[in-house]
Structure 1
Amino acid sequence: MYLNCHSYYSLRYGTFSEIELLELAKKNDVQTLALTDINNTSACLNFIRKAKDFNIKPVIGIDFRTGAQQLYVGLANNNEGFKELNQFLSQHSENKIELPGRAPHFDHCVIIYPFERVLQLEKSHFYDHEFIGVSIEELRKLRFSKLKNLEDKLVVLQTVTIRDKKDFNAHRLLRAIDKNTLLSKLEKSEECKLTDKMCSLKEINEAFADFPHIIENTNRILSSCHIEFGFGEQRISQNLKLYTDSAENDYQLLEKLCQDNLYKRYSNPDEKVLARLKTELDTIKSLDFVAFFLINYDIVSYANSKGYFHVGRGSGANSIVAYIIGITDVDPIELDLYFERFINPFRASPPDFDIDFSWKDRDDVTAYIFRRFPHTALMATYNTFKYRAVVRELGKVFGLPKEEIDKLSKGNYVVSQLDEIAQLVLRYGKLIEGFPNHLSVHSAGVLILDQSVHYYSATDMPPKGFPTVQFDMIIAEDVGVFKFDILGQRGLAKIKDALDIIAENRPEVPPIDITNVEAFKNDKNINNLLKSGGAIGAYYVESPAMRGLMQQLQTQDYIGLVAASSIIRPGVSGSGMKEEFIKRHRYPELRKNAHPVLLEIMPETYGVMVYQEDVLKVANQFADLSLGEADILRRGMSGKFRSRKEFTAVEEKFIANCRKKGYQDDLIFEVWNQIKSFAGYAFAKGHSASYAVESYQSLYLKCYYPLEFMTAVLNNGGGFYSVEHYLHEAQKQGATICAPCINNSDHPNRLIGTSIYLGFGYLKNLETFTVQRMLTERQLNGTYSSLDDFIDRVTISIEQLTILIRIDAFRFTQQSKTELLWQAIFKLNADGAKSQQSKLFKIQHKEFTLPKLNSNWIENAYDEMELLGFPLCNYFNLVNGDMANGILASQMKDHINKEVLIYGSLVTTRFNYTSQGKLMRLSTFIDHQGNYFDAVHFTDVVEKYPVNGLGVYACYGRITDRFDFYSMSVVWSRKAAILPDPRNN
């Protein structure tokens, strides 16, 4: 009986979820229900999926509106009808076209015009599929309207948006947030009605007792609507099923690709390789994943044809087929990668291939996918209202002053002392928290389907410029829509740019084969960078935690790096397995502490669970679970399935099987808790190995072409550290860091010989157009010979020219900055007036005799800090005061468990929490010799001794030793003062 119901996916309008709508219908004995969100289909698939649990027949459609004004409601008679509605909405939303006042003709849909709308339109002719909707409230008007004579066209349109007064209040708040207005100024036309709620069927029948034909018409419409999708075990893959014209040809193509490329990967393939290949091909064929592999191969082949680098990772990196045909670069035989992790007969979904491209290349690869495959869209994700953010929004809606809003959002209040309005803000903040706020684009997901995406959803066109569905990955997998993950990262761009810079800066170097990773893995110099913590700039291995871990493990090979990449993840780390792994790695005699069965299952990791595969192995071999049941554990850990009931059943069987095998409860629950600790964090081994391949490529460049590599790192946004720290690292490698220069600098950084000329992009207030003009002029007509020459050739204001002079970009003139500034003021209009047109003839500049005007390095440092954000000199040189009695980072090993003083320049700092949930701070510093040390402010000192920005700190504390990695537990710290700017005296 309800043809027009909203969930909170009627964004900033609806007030409860699609599940709560079904609960409401069940409570009111409603057996058939239509979900029609406003210009949105996000909840439709899950509504259909869950309706079965409530024994309710689902009907879906769309409430087409302009703003809050209802135009008409469309209901899908069937799946074709849902497609029609989605296509219609998508055409308008993608192209930002206002919806028409009258609906077009549909073949498989019902269109319902609201009673008041029909009166406005003076619509008298209706097609067979068009009806007039009347609410209980509007029955009074119907009695006196000529529309009452259209008996076969009248239906019940009792809109459902709220449940009660509380929902209505929340609805009004959401509308005020949406319109960015005070609640008191919200127009009534923007609100729903207090009567827009669900009545029992008995109440509906009583209200329409005088109009039984309206009830009959409504029931007839609901009876005519049938929508079908398979979910869970009943689902079938909706992805593109055929790459060629038949399944047979698909398989022959995949088999041929493997045969053609086998000897490129294995020069002399043994029986183990051939057997693994056959097993995989047979399984891929039997599970209908052939097209999935071929599509990924197609994408990678396009990237290769364009010279783009890629990294194939995810569970698919465990596959020998993926390795042979070039989707991944990880050898599963070398690493003994577990086949069943990426694919097994119990797995209904295809394996995960996360394919990384350079952030510069990713959009072109995505555009190719949309050109190559006809039924393609991006995956959506939901941005929800966060509590602090919604409290701020509600504070504005109620007209609270900024100070009070800040206090409420930060939690700086005592509830009993708050007035009524503030308490309302907090109460409704809790209610609205978690509501979807707006749709966004999934970070990586691309859908390549067998039929139009509009069979499943309407699409939007976000700024990325590609059609995007309106549902997320959870419901997508439920219905058999599996995403392809196409990601962008900066690590690959650093590698490619470094190779380009090497070719330009060192033309004598022969072309580098960056794919020769086998040689890199066995290079002692490269491996020494891992062991010594010298991986600054290298993708994935440069963070303080990772560098510290590799020093503790003394990582010096590829296998060790793969393990380190995984044990640093929170699941392994937080459960104590990281600590145990380090102990057993460093001290072989401790490996006997492992349970014999676990050691036999995981000899490479000394009986410690490190990878997702280990969970599968332990579940299968330790607890005798089937591979299908073990896969339930894997999915439960990754958060990609909904059924906690299913997970709990496997947990109970795990414990029961272990007891049956005679294991003690202490051991059983120790192992089970380790499994649970992996939740959401564990890596597949192939995934870690893929990262490690890219790390080795970066480390090769860092080891042998450090200046070119560091320049590429800087030009691609750095990484974990600040710009100035990467410059410090480049200096350690022998670079001279030069301030921007009008004759040698570009917009990015530029390496000339061993000098890195900083890019104009670092100058915060230098306009892009100014940079473009002076670089274009220099490219066309050569370098600038003087300040006068520059002024003649480049249209520039005195403000912009002042920035260039203050950063010393004209230092080639041998004139002081102060002298150049005076000349610039004399030679340009000091009031800032400027012509946009270049001068036709060179003017004769007047020469001015100026007194000797000196500047010094401290003034330069202050100018650099203001214009670049950091000084080019060492922070230690700027310290105002004595730095005596301190030790060096290299001497920490001689002072274990002693309290010492170290002066350090801050590199990075972050807050963390102890295992008891208490606040602590982790910081990394360099001493005045440029060597690193880590310091920890524990709970008792973290707030007493804050770390306030970059600079030199006196750190006094106790030196600790963890597996030969030394750090300081801070007792006290303070920031050193710097020399004053002489110009302020």
Structure 2
Amino acid sequence: MSIETLIAEALRVRADAIALTDINSTAGIFPFLQQAQRHNVHAVVGIDFRDGSRPRYIGLAKNQEGLYELNKHLSEVLAAGGPFPQRAPAFSHACIVYPLQQAPDVLREEEFVGVRIAEIRQLYSLRKRFPVEKLVLWQPVSFQDTISFNTHRLLRAIDRNSLLSKLPLSEQGQPDDRFYTYAELAAQCEGHSYLITAARKLLEQCQFSFYFHAVKNKRNVRGSSWEDFDYLRTETLRGAVSRYPKLSQEIFDRIEKELLLIQQKDFVSYFLINYDIVRYAHRKGYFHVGRGSGANSIVAYCLYITDVDPIALDLYFERFINLYRDSPPDFDIDFSWKDRDDVIRYIFETYKEGDRAHVALLSAHSTFQYQAVTRELGKVFGLPTSEIEQLLAKGGPKHPLDQYGRLIKRYGQRLIDVPSHLSIHAGGVLISEKPIHYYSATTIPPKGFPITHFDMHVAEAIGLHKFDILSQRGLGHIKTAMELIHENQGVEVDIRQVERFKEDEKIKELLRTGKTMGAFYVESPAMRMLLSKMKAQTYLELVAASSIIRPGVARSGMMRAYILRHLDAEKRKEAHPVMESIMPDTYGIMVYQEDVIKVAHYFAELSLGEADILRRGMSGKSRSKEEFQRVKDAFFSNCERLGREKEITEQVWHQIESFAGYSFAKGHSASFAVESYQSLYLKAYFPLEFMVAVINNFGGFYHTEFYLHELRMQGAEIEAPDVNESRYLTHIQGTRVLLGFIHLKHFEKKSTEWLLRARAKGPFTSLEDFMLRVPLGIEQLRILIRIEAFRFTGRSKAQLLWIAHARHQELQQRAQAAENSLGLFPAEVKPFRLEELPPLSTSEDWEKIHDQLEILEFPLDSPFLLVESLPVGTCMARDLPKQNGKWVTLVGYLVTVKPTRTVKGERMHFGTFLDQEGNWVDTVHFPDKKNPYPFRGKGVYYLKGRVSEEFGFYTVEVAQITRLPYKQSS
């Protein structure tokens, strides 16, 4: 049962006190307390401790100290992997209830024996064993009705990966685990009313009072609140001197205004902890990006938490913190995926106190969804895969549902959004004033850091503000690129000179032309297109582009309106005067999240608190639909009172609505833009090292193949792995780029480790020498031969494969014998006479590319060599401007396809191809052309379509598309 259903059932039977004891979980405690307080039900909280399905004992918290004891006990056992001890620890502030059959003979003061209704008949033999005051009525409540019991059985079968018909009774609850009225309980306990009396006394002992929003993050960092504030002010002013060579009164005033508000809202320690995290990262040489609404703060800028100047960008601090805003501030701090775990480790070690944990990662609650639940229920009922796939088929099954199909549909609907398991929040870290076990038990997932049982919504409800410690690969690109530049060219790069980068002409040219592949956040086909259309070349234009590209702005039609007004001053006159006065930088168009607050406050005269409710509701963070609706109604009534035209009001509301869940805060976009500039600087001046760094961080919009293509277009010589020169990752020597062994499909990491360990003692002199020194199986060896990793020997692949198969076993045995002799008698390679092999019947080029396709999953040579016969006289990307409005034919190698929907909901696609000269071609595939001419996977395509142009950007509206057949080996 959900919490809401549980309380509703309790009210139905007029229960005035109930205890929530989830099995090995505390996820529901605070939602339960909230609902119980709302309905005046005496709420008792605890834990049902079990080893699998076997009950051990139930713990009930007498107060918050008791919950701490129970949480700590559960966490320790879960961390150790179980089992629970048969006897509970001696708790000081919690009561223990044992199942009747497992109760110890001698009970402590706060220990009791639970008697179920079905066990009452056994009491006559047990009353001599236990005093009556130790026997309590114990009636579990798990089910509302037969349907909920059946749902439970299905969940148990899913959990055990078992057929429903094979589910043991020991793995199920009992159908009578439900609520009874007091009269029904009294009737069942006739002659044993002391059970009810003892149970009531036990519940009365448990007085868990809790005030929501009263919980605090770690209060003080330096000993006291005044020391914290003094330190925050000192460090902020020190940073201001560094950030601003000329300190103006405006800067001082903004700092003082923010500091006062931060102190009033009790967020001083929140800032200082983020500051401490960033300082640790700087000491370790880790790059970071501070973003989120925190980028609107000059204090954050002066503390180097963010790199966005809110004065220069006129960022709206009230979007971050205002007196009317109850929600916590929001810093998203990104680190490289390589560095993030060490930063989290630092937080855990720094903010613990002895053996009392004050830090935990936030969990997220994964829930069942339609496809997964249908598959799981299909397995539970024993359906074959083909029938399950029919149930999932688009448009539903072709035949009427049978008995099992109807059951799956019926119970599948009940299970949608039901919690399935705990996962880890993307980056949320909690640092609490009191130990974290006062609020939640913790579980340790494979990642190694403990996670809470409740999610971010509960954390916010009780008053714990999360710290967002996130990872992204863009920062890894930058760090790795700088290391490669130093290694390859001996140059040290200062990547923090962002102000200089903003004025760099080479970077402006990359932006203006959309040549941004590899650069963080601005490399996708859609972003390249937008930058080209905008002719973007300034920081502010890039900031705007980062938000305009978001679906909310694009779908509302505001992206096109923005580009029109950006390029044509006459079009700016179409803006509503009030909207233009609110958002002059974006020509009266809502682009950023804080624009919602501004428009609501200045256009509709909502209070700042109401405006923030509107913003949170639009971004999906509001949990109260009623509160959001109230603010929406106030928006329209205020506009009517102010005399706004109804049509204009509706247009403005449509813009606000289009933001739902998609818009960025301006500071967030500005933070992204800083990282984009850093990437673009490296791409402009060190293109080879930068692209190798992108490849080695395995992050980006495109497949590795296309970053290698970009390297080739920049003058690099791309080479397949070589056993004497390559590393695990790709590396660069001058303009030579040697692929790493990591790119070889099915080549195991341990094989690379053996290879590199042997090579450290000296280069390999031949294939035979390699086989003596590296203990690879024949299949692993074949991969290296086929990818030409032994090309230094001068022998052909066929010759090398012949030697490998002929001598592999012999040389491996000799290598093993040498190893067993502790190296006293090193193995020697005897000369091997190789017979002349006949020439291959297939072309050498085809064999080479075929092996590359199989082992790398892409060719290192031109993919157009794969095609049996290329059409002649086709158009190239450079020809498109001359062919505007005309029909053309092209041959293109597919890079990526983006599906989307028209305003009518029909599916269409945007495509990106490479032409035979290696340049990009962007295509549009409208719904009427998509079905007769579908994409058929990776390959070279023949396209026919009409060239179109918008804002100087050329695309081909495709009418026909055919994948060209590859050559076949003979």
Q: TM-score range by the shorter chain?
A: over 0.9
Moved more, 671-680 or 581-590: 671-680
Query: 1:869-880 alignment to 2 at 5 Å?
Result: 869-880=857-868
2:944 to 956, 962, 966: 956
CA contact (8 A) 1:795 1:834 kept: no
For residue 484 of structure 1, report the CA deviation from its aligned partner.
Answer: 0.2
Aligned partners of 1:831 and 1:67: how far apart in 2?
A: 52
Q: Is the 8 A contact 2:723 2:789 kept in 1?
A: yes
Aligned to 1:45: 30
Closer, same or farther in 2 for the Cα pair 1:670/1:833, shift >3 Å? farther
Residue aligning to 1:449: 432
RMSD over equivalenced CA pairs, Å = 1.7
Between the two proteins, what is the percent identity of the paired residues? 48
Tell me by how many angstroms 1:866 deviates. Answer: 0.8
Equivalent residues of 1:795, 1:837 under 8 A apart = no
Number of the residue aligned with 2:226: 248
> Are positions 1:312 and 2:290 aligned together?
yes
Residue in 1 that maps onto 2:487: 504
Hey, what does 1:466 align to over in structure 2?
449
CA distance in 1, matches of 2:199, 2:805: 80
> Deviation of residue 364 (structure 1)?
0.4
Cα distance, 1:826–1:923 mapped onto 2, change above 3 Å: same
Deviation at 1:575, TM superposition (A): 1.5
The one-letter amino acid of 2:909's match is: R
1:412/1:624 Cα in 2 relative to 1: closer, same or farther (>3 Å)? Answer: closer
3-state SS of paired residue (1:254):
helix
- Give the structure 1 partner of residue 782 of structure 2: 802
2:836 pairs with 1:850: yes
Structure 1 stretch 924-933 or stretch 596-605: which is displaced more? 924-933
Q: Structure 1's 147 and 502: CA in aligned 2 closer, same or farther, altered over 3 A? A: farther
- 1:352-399, CA deviations, whole angstroms, 9 ceiling, x for partnerless residues? 110001100000000000000011000000111111111111111111
Q: Is the 8 A contact 1:379 1:446 kept in 2?
A: yes
| Aligned partner of 1:710 among 675, 678, 691 | 691
Q: CA deviation at 1:513?
A: 0.8
Give a deviation string over 1:631-651, Cα, whole Å, max 9, x none.
111221222231111111111
On the 8 A contact 1:798/1:832 being kept in 2, the answer is no
Q: Deviations over 1:488-538 (max 9, x none)?
A: 11111111111111111112x3x2110000111111111111121111001
Is 1:902–2:890 an aligned residue pair? yes
2:386 is the counterpart of 1:403: yes
Amino acid aligned to 1:80:
E
2:300 & 2:761 partners in 1: Cα distance?
A: 49
| Structure 1 residues 409-462: Cα deviation after superposition (integer angstroms, max 9, x where no partner) | 335644862211121122111111211111011110000110111111100001
- Shift of the 853–746 alpha-carbon distance from structure 1 to 2, 3 Å rule, reads farther
| 1:121-520 equivalent positions in 2, closer than 5 A | 123-146=104-127, 150-231=131-212, 235-374=213-352, 375-411=358-394, 413-414=396-397, 417-507=400-490, 509=491, 511-520=492-501
Q: Distance in 1 between matches of 2:542 and 2:130?
A: 79
Deviations 1:869-898, CA, capped at 9 Å, x for gaps: 111111122221131242122222333343
Residue of structure 2 in register with 1:823 after alignment: 803
- Alpha-carbon distance in 2 for matches of 1:71, 1:708: 60
Give the match's secondary structure for 2:4.
helix
> What is the letter of the counterpart of residue 798 of structure 1?
I
In 1, distance between residues paired with 2:364 and 2:813?
49
Which letter does structure 2 place at the counterpart of 1:802?
R
- CA distances 1:138-183 after superposition (whole Å, capped 9, x unpaired): 2223245436862111212111111111111111111111111111
CA contact (8 A) 1:795 1:838 kept: no
Change over 3 Å in CA distance of 1:116–1:917 after alignment to 2 = farther
Residue 826 of structure 1 and its aligned partner are, at CA, apart by 2.6
SS of 1:138's partner is: helix
Displacement of 1:835 after TM fit?
5.3
**1:886 paired to 2:874:** yes
Matches of 2:632 and 2:396 in 1, distance apart? Answer: 43
Is the contact made by 2:769 and 2:829 (CA closer than 8 Å) also made in structure 1?
A: no
Mapped to 1, the partners of 2:749 and 2:943 lie a distance apart of: 41
Aligned counterpart in structure 1 of residue 643 of structure 2, from 653, 662, 666: 662
2:798 matches 1:813: no
CA distance in 2, matches of 1:628, 1:590: 34
Give the Cα–Cα distance (whole angstroms) in 1 for the partners of residues 948 and 561 of structure 2.
18
Range that drifts further, 623-632 or 369-378: 623-632
Kept in 1, the 8 Å contact 2:137–2:195? The answer is: yes
CA distance in 1, matches of 2:396, 2:904: 25
Residues 147/937 of structure 1: CA separation in 2 closer, same or farther (3 Å cut): farther
C-alpha displacement at 1:852, in angstroms?
5.2
Which position in structure 2 is the counterpart of 1:841?
827
Distance in 2 (alpha carbons) for counterparts of 1:684 and 1:705: 31
Q: Distance in 1 between matches of 2:590 and 2:454?
A: 35
Task: State the AA in 1 paired with 2:49.
Answer: F
In the other structure, the counterpart of 2:628 is 647
Match of 2:81 among 86, 96, 99: 96
* Residue identity opposite 1:81 in structure 2: G
Q: Which residue of 1 aligns with 2:822?
A: none
For 1:428 and 1:954, locate their aligned partners in 2 and report how far apart those are by CA, in whole Å: 48
8 Å Cα contact 2:768-2:829 kept in structure 1: no
Structure 1 residue 838, shift from structure 2 partner: 5.2
Deviation (angstroms), 1:961:
2.4
Matched, 1:674 2:655: yes
Q: CA deviation at 1:824?
A: 2.3
CA distance in 2, matches of 1:100, 1:289: 42
Asked if 1:64 is matched to 2:52, the reply is: no
Q: Within 5 Å, which residues of 2 pair with 1:399-798?
A: 399-411=382-394, 413-414=396-397, 417-507=400-490, 509=491, 511-781=492-762, 783-798=763-778
Following TM superposition, by how much is the alpha carbon of 1:939 offset from its aligned partner in structure 2, in angstroms? 2.0
- Partner AA of 1:489 in structure 2: Q
- The worse-fitting range, judged by mean Cα deviation, of 753-762 and 806-815 is 806-815
* Pair 1:634–1:147, CA change in 2 (3 A): farther
TM-score, reference length from structure 1: 0.95
Mean alpha-carbon deviation: is it higher for 18-27 or for 134-143? 134-143
**Residues of 2 paired with 1:547 and 1:429: CA distance?**
43
| 2:961 maps to 1:980 | no
Amino acid at match of 1:896: N
Partner SS for 1:824: helix
Q: Find the aligned partners of 1:872 and 1:607 in 2 and give their Cα distance.
A: 49
Alignment partners' CA distance in 2, 1:947 and 1:270: 59
3-state DSSP class of the match of 2:718? strand
Structure 1 Cα separation of the partners of residues 178 and 147 of structure 2:
12
Q: Judging changes above 3 Å, is the alpha-carbon distance between structure 1 residues 569 and 249 closer, same or farther for their aligned structure 2 residues?
A: same
Amino acid aligned to 1:665? K
Q: Report how far residue 265 of structure 1 moved.
A: 0.5
Task: Measure the CA separation in 2 of the matches of 1:229 and 1:944.
Answer: 63
2:663 and 2:372 map into 1 onto residues whose CA distance is: 31
TM-score by length of 2: 0.96
Equivalent pair of 2:731/2:737 in contact (CA under 8 Å)? yes
In 1: Cα distance, 2:169 partner to 2:11 partner: 31
d(CA) in 2 for partners of 1:942, 1:33: 59
Distance 2:837 2:399 in 1: 69
1:837 CA drift (Å): 6.2
1:301-339 per-position Cα deviation (integer Å, ceiling 9, x unaligned):
000000010000010011101111111100011111011
The letter for the 2-side match of 1:593 is E
SS of 2:216's equivalent in the other structure is coil
* Aligned AA (1:940): D
- Runs of 5+ in structure 2 lacking a partner? 353-357, 820-825
Moved more, 380-389 or 628-637: 628-637
How many Å separate the matches in 2 of 1:343 and 1:933?
Answer: 45
Structure 2 CA distance for aligned equivalents of residues 350 and 582 of structure 1: 35
